[in-house]
Amino acid sequence: MAASKDMLGSSSPLLLERSSFLPNSRDLLLRRPNELCFSPSLVLPTRKGRLNAGRNFKAPFAAISEKPPLIKRVWASEEKPVKFTVRAALTVRKKSKEDIKETIANHLDALSDKIGRNVVLELISTHIDPKTKKAKKSSEAVLKDWSKKANVRTERVIYTAEFVVDSSFGEPGAITVRNRHQREFYLETIVVEGFACGPVHFDCNSWVQSSRDHPEKRIFFSNKPYLPSQTPAGLRDLRENELKALRGDGKGVRKSSDRIYDYAKYNDLGNPDKGIEGVRPTLGGDEIPYPRRCRTGRPPSDSDLGAESRVEKPYPMYVPRDEAFEESKQDTFSAGRLKAVLHSLIPSLIASIDADNQDFKGFHDIDKLYKEGLLLKEGLQDHLLKKLPFVSKIQETSQGLLRYDTPNIISKDKYAWLRDDEFARQAIAGINPVNIERLQVFPPMSKLDPEIYGPQESSIKEEHIVGQLNGMTVQQAIEAEKLYMLDFHDAYLPFIERINALDGRKAYATRTIFFLSQTGTLKPVAIELSLPSTTPSRPPKRRVLTPPTDATTHWKWQMAKAHVCSNDAGVHQLVNHWLRTHACMEPFILAAHRRLSAMHPVFKLLHPHMRYTLEINALARQSLINAGGVIESCFTPGQYCMEISAAAKASPPDLVRRGMAVPDPTQPHGLRLLIDDYPYASDGLLIWSAIEKWVRTNVDRYYPDAARIKSDAELQAWYAESIRVGHADKKDEPWWPALDRPEHLTSVLTTLIWLASAQHAALNFGQYPLGGYIPNRPPLMRRLIPDESDPEHSNFLADPQRFYLSSMPSLLQAINFMAVVDTLSTHSPDEEYLGERQQPSTWTEDAEIVEAAYEFSAEIRRIEAVIERRNADPKLKNRCGAGVLPYELLVPSSSPGVTCRGVPNSVSI
């Protein structure tokens, strides 16, 4: 509280806000005839900083005399209302780059504005007109000086408009905008001044379409939050009409200018019109349960009426207009895609000329990607530059276009990834720190059907590991909470036979057991590699490897770790990253726009955590998770990637379910971590608690009891639709909390904000810094580990390094993967980070929430300082030490680029 007051000064920014273009509205100013006359504000601060509500004041309204020079103070009790003028300032954001069509349209709009085809606005009162029984309205007003400012070269342009209202108008609660120009424009904010209540803010941040495309008026509500039951009479119809417009009718093909939010199954990942190789199953439904995605309404494919037709690049996939990337984000993403093209196309051409350039022959070939780049053959450089004109836009040498930045994982210690302790450290401080679990039953047990997949009991026995437990028995180590596991057995085994039948794909279903040392670090003590039975009468083939004792077992152990990492990379990308952040958030976002008014305090709370998610998910369906897309090309499961994603449990295992923490009310966050130095968990608990406190403040402010929650029709409709429609295939699962108490609402909202911000950041922004060095974390494996009876065993013995590298992605597979994860790990310049939202007073008028928002921001800054201190603490060996990378994925702030840190508000990449 004290910190936030220091930031704010002695007064709340909401209560003492001043006009940017009118005199101080708290003073009663008498001007020349026809100028505005202001009364004292009706919004009075209390000692607690809350709005002084619930009292009836008879204060004078601002007025303009009808007969100058008479100045008249008009009181609310007068029978004959007097007309007066108020003024609005609209902030419009302009594009920094325009193509020829846009430039021409801009000039035409400037000309048409002069002849009366303007942008027309109208104020809507919170009060009902007793005669018409409808909301009171101002006169229509035209946006001034559009043509004069058409050529202004600035990011934002301020326009003004003047409205005539009468003294009984009351407080404005909404404003309508009709765009009679030819092109859309981006409206950021509107501020209306001249009313006794003080400046009225409208937080718009939306594209306003031409009335030719969308003849209905756009509605924007003021920043004053209202629960549905508290909506002023003048706004009730507008509130419901706006939500109906956003829901649409579920029919037709969506246009890029539409603002319709609706649901569909994932039936657009394949392209059956390309033949059998393009067929992919529909995700969503009884056969393959999956969350829903945004409906586009595209017609079915020619070959399969159940499959939606594809839209391929460069044509855009539909998302509601306001969900599309803004210009700076689009530029950053397009630059990343250009980089990906250059990294994949040019080497592809090289490979087509030099057939011997398919595999890495040694680790020095991988190092060249970062040091020298790929050298083009003589004459090929000029040829490519002529064929690819966009290359000239990049101010780099041709070799620079083929050179990658050195990933963080090898920047401090080039060979750290080879060590067992680093392999184990990344299970709790790497890209995928959410699968590690405490071993509570030995041997580990499968949950798969034994009739199909064989005995459920693991083949890891006590004799495999007992010599590595510092003198403990296995049972003693379990009781002392010393044994941990990465278990990918059940996730992969049902798919192994199909995966291994693919050309150039080989996989095991793996389990890895770790022992927790006295220093707080983990060490791997056994890896189990499982293959399914080839015939019903034979048991599955399993082998257990333990830390090496000679050269041969050293290389086999390294290959076993590589297969574990490949399993881990697949589960990370397909389940924890894509499914449990991107895909699971989408239905909640769709439902929020369909069921929660922009005036709803829960919508205002969630709004920054929904930014860009629908767009990045649409782009993923177009080129990442689709048939033949990057995920299938770069990960071991190939065409079965999304089926593995769908087979995963929808409810993610949290710290307690994984046995990584136990409830403990004496601890700051109510949990005791069983591995004290668990960077993801210890940093994450700080952020979780800050989010939870911020959410609880909002919930307590608007929902003092269970009755208020149960009676909120919009809130209940949002939650019910998110589950029953958006997650329809899992709607009857027992783990969905009932939305019937403040603590349940706090839990639901905290979880959603956590998933969109911190959880996604922890799983996403380390992909290139930690995974950009392929041997550290190969996403794809091409060979199994040969045993002595295998014909390849002699090749393995003759050149184990080359065999090892040939089991990993080829040169082209590696550089394609590196280019993509480089783009996915990049923060754009317009990123909005946790605790860094626009001025709270622009999106809410509630002084208590404004103050809490500043406190939340201050708490996030304090957490950042704590994490930085932890990363410098030599006692924390999983994040500090010789060659050890600090754990920065949950450090809240970041600069643009690939920084391996930063927690954006939303799933934005």
Asked whether residue 884 carries a pLDDT value surpassing 50, the answer given is: yes
Q: What order do you get walking across the sheet with 437-438 strand by strand?
A: 437-438, 483-487, 509-516, 522-531, 541-545
Going by pLDDT thresholds of 50, 70 and 90, the confidence category of residue 398 is very low
Of how many residues is the chain composed?
909
Give residues with Cβ within 8 angstroms of 326, minimum separation 6.
830
> Cβ neighbours of residue 657 under 8 Å, at least 6 residues apart?
none
What CA–CA distance (Å, rounded) separates 900 from 890?
9
Is the predicted pLDDT of residue 516 greater than 60, yes or no? yes
Structure tokens given for 366: 């991988």
Alpha-carbon distance of 890 to 862, in angstroms, equals 13
Using pLDDT thresholds of 50, 70 and 90, give the confidence band for residue 42.
very low
pLDDT of the residue at 772: 95
d(CA 806, CA 783): 8
Per-residue model confidence (pLDDT) at position 373? 63
Q: How confident is the model at residue 810 (pLDDT cuts 50, 70, 90)?
A: very high
Q: What is the pLDDT of residue 80?
A: 73
d(CA 94, CA 460) in angstroms, rounded, equals 63
Mean pLDDT to the nearest integer, 260-264 = 98
Window from 354-363, 579-588, 707-716 with minimum mean pLDDT: 354-363
Positions marked active-site: 577, 582, 760, 764, 909
Residue with tokens 């349940």: 744
Residues contacting residue 746 through CB under 8 Å, at least 6 positions apart: 692, 695, 696, 699
**Cα separation of 9 and 855, whole Å?**
13
Give residue-wise pLDDT tens across range 626-685.
999 999 999 999 999 999 999 997 666 799 999 999 999 999 899 999 999 999 999 999
Counting Cα atoms < 13 Å in the Cβ hemisphere of 611 gives 21
The predicted pLDDT at position 150 comes to: 82
pLDDT tens per residue across span 189-222: 999 999 999 999 999 999 999 999 999 999 999 9
Tell the burial category of 839 from Cβ atoms under 10 Å away from its Cβ (0-12, 13-18, 19+): middle
Separation of alpha carbons 84 and 194, rounded Å:
9
Query: How far, in Å, CA of 521 to CA of 425, rounded?
Result: 7
Q: Distances from the Cα of 592 to the Cαs of 127, 596, 717, in angstroms? A: 27, 5, 9
Q: In what order do the strands lie in the sheet with 83-93?
A: 156-166, 83-93, 185-193, 200-208
Q: Report yes or no on whether pTM surpasses 0.85.
A: yes
pLDDT confidence of residue 6: 36
Q: Name the residue type at position 596.
A: L
Q: What is the pLDDT of residues 425-463, one digit of tens each?
A: 999 999 999 999 999 999 999 999 999 999 999 999 999
Q: Which pLDDT band, with edges at 50, 70 and 90, does 52 fall under?
A: very low
Q: Classify the C-alpha dihedral 185-188-192-197 as positive or negative.
A: positive
Amino acid at 171: E
Q: Are the beta carbons of 418 and 558 closer than 8 angstroms?
A: yes
CA 281 to chain centre: 26
Q: What is the mean pLDDT of residues 299-320?
A: 94
Confidence of residue 108 (pLDDT cuts 50, 70, 90): confident
pLDDT higher than threshold 70 for residue 731? yes
Compute the mean pLDDT over every residue in the chain, rounded to the nearest whole number.
86
Q: What Å distances lie between residue 770 and 154, 292, 825, CA to CA?
A: 40, 31, 10
**pLDDT-based confidence at 402, cuts 50/70/90?**
low
* pLDDT of amino acid 625: 96
Give the pLDDT band (50/70/90) at residue 105. confident
Structure confidence at residue 31 (pLDDT): 33
First to last CA, the chain: 34
> Are the C-beta atoms of 663 and 670 separated by less than 8 Å?
yes
Closest-CA residue to 163 (of 64, 248, 22)? 64
